[in-house]
Structure 1
């Protein structure tokens, strides 16, 4: 008999993981990383906008931007993308098992290879969803739900590109509607929080942007924890295994 995805269990798993000692450390890491990424990206876009439209003021559009050459901000942004992939690998493994001991050798095993495959799978998934969305939106949503576990499979199961896509399709089969609902719940909650800080940003752009950026980091970690919780259910691995059993 096929196990049905329990949404409340997945959400509870996510909440339980981020409220641990290790979860608190990861929350700080995610918030700081998100802040660094926003400063870098906004600095890049601000300089590009200033070069293309010299008379336009970009301070309101990019309140966290700092005055950096395009080459520097572009290089820092590219580096942060790679750092983000590494952080993502360690985070998913910690959320899966051993979160209060992060980082351990098990969290960082085959790190470069796994981060590289994760980036490739993320790009493949993004392109597939983008193409699917071009066809009346529904195929894009279907693909997004079907491939939602692809990166988790790479990180937890040490799968390759094709194997991770096939495995995600298998795990989501029969649970796609519930996974969609789970995504809507997380997305709607995050949207409401960002809307509230967006209103603050109208009156205090820097404060609003800082609050939105930090919150985005927190929500990203929570979403990852919920995804791992859903993966555990569907993979038939409800109880955390010790690192030696990985």
Structure 2
């Protein structure tokens, strides 16, 4: 069945404008700040001492730790982000009435397996899309669209990373042109936040720039994932061979109608 873009956007926005959306925003903001701080600190920590002082004044948020500790923090944050996206996918894929709650089992059900699949599969997707973008750009967009629902297949349907990649590929089939809108929107968000950060850096406020850009990107990316969740549910519920025992127990159309 063809993806309904209007329904996708409206339902995605409704999913984010909930208690769940607020919690997910706060969590993503913390993770993004940890990533930013760890990268900045690692860069300062590994440059020659004579350049570290000058660089520290222009690089933004940093921590008073060594480059080695900052690198370890960055790697730990990557694992934490995988855990976060497992919970995000499960949280946003629930029926709308349930988004006023945030139960602990979103982060406890088969968390180890899901996190490992998210890490391995996420690395495969990242490398594939990056290489595709380098090869005349369009192959990267195509792969990004095909693997758009990977995180939901891993988290909501409890699939391994190989099966999740296949599942996402199948769900996107027949609607890839429409789903390109979501991928383009992701790029626009990145461009906007990057531009804001550059302006603030030029204004001599790198710390403010880090805080503002990470806040803006957290808001917009949670919204984007809400839209992705709505698209996933719409296509999954219309898929005759799809998963039928997930966190979402009723068709999306009925859920929206009940609001």
TM over 0.5: yes
In structure 2, the residue matched to 1:78 is 75
1:10 deviates by 1.9
Q: In structure 1, the residue corresponding to 2:55 is in which secondary structure?
A: coil
Consecutive unaligned residues of structure 2, counting only runs of 5 or more, are 240-244, 251-259
1:43 to 2:60 alignment: no
1:200 deviates by 3.0
| Separation of aligned partners in 1, 2:223 and 2:156 | 18
User: Structure 1, residues 76-122: CA drift from partner, whole Å, max 9, x if none?
Assistant: 11111111111111111011113322133255300111011111110
1:110 to 2:107 alignment: no
The alpha-carbon distance between structure 1 residues 245 and 106, as it changes in their structure 2 partners (threshold 3 A), is farther
User: Structure 1, residues 204-235: CA drift from partner, whole Å, max 9, x if none?
Assistant: 22212210012222222222111111101111
Moved more, 23-32 or 84-93: 23-32
| Separation of aligned partners in 1, 2:36 and 2:129 | 24
Moved over 4 A (4+): 241-246
In structure 2, the residue matched to 1:221 is 222
1:64 deviates by 0.7
Normalising by structure 2, we get a TM-score of 0.83
Normalising by structure 1, we get a TM-score of 0.87
8 A Cα contact 1:120 1:161, kept in partner: yes
1:139 deviates by 1.7
Q: In structure 1, the residue corresponding to 2:56 is in which secondary structure?
A: coil
8 A Cα contact 2:60 2:209, kept in partner: no
Moved more, 75-84 or 61-70: 61-70
Cα-Cα RMSD: 2.5
| Separation of aligned partners in 1, 2:16 and 2:8 | 13
| Separation of aligned partners in 1, 2:187 and 2:132 | 20
8 A Cα contact 1:23 1:100, kept in partner: no
8 A Cα contact 2:89 2:151, kept in partner: no
In structure 1, the residue matched to 2:256 is none
1:19 to 2:17 alignment: yes
Q: In structure 1, the residue corresponding to 2:24 is in which secondary structure?
A: helix
Moved more, 141-150 or 200-209: 200-209
| Separation of aligned partners in 2, 1:242 and 1:117 | 18
Q: In structure 2, the residue corresponding to 1:5 is in which secondary structure?
A: coil
8 A Cα contact 2:153 2:167, kept in partner: yes
| Separation of aligned partners in 2, 1:242 and 1:133 | 33
| Separation of aligned partners in 2, 1:111 and 1:244 | 18
User: Structure 1, residues 118-162: CA drift from partner, whole Å, max 9, x if none?
Assistant: 111101111222333343222222111111111211111111122
Moved more, 227-236 or 104-113: 104-113
In structure 2, the residue matched to 1:68 is 65
8 A Cα contact 1:118 1:154, kept in partner: yes
In structure 1, the residue matched to 2:211 is 210
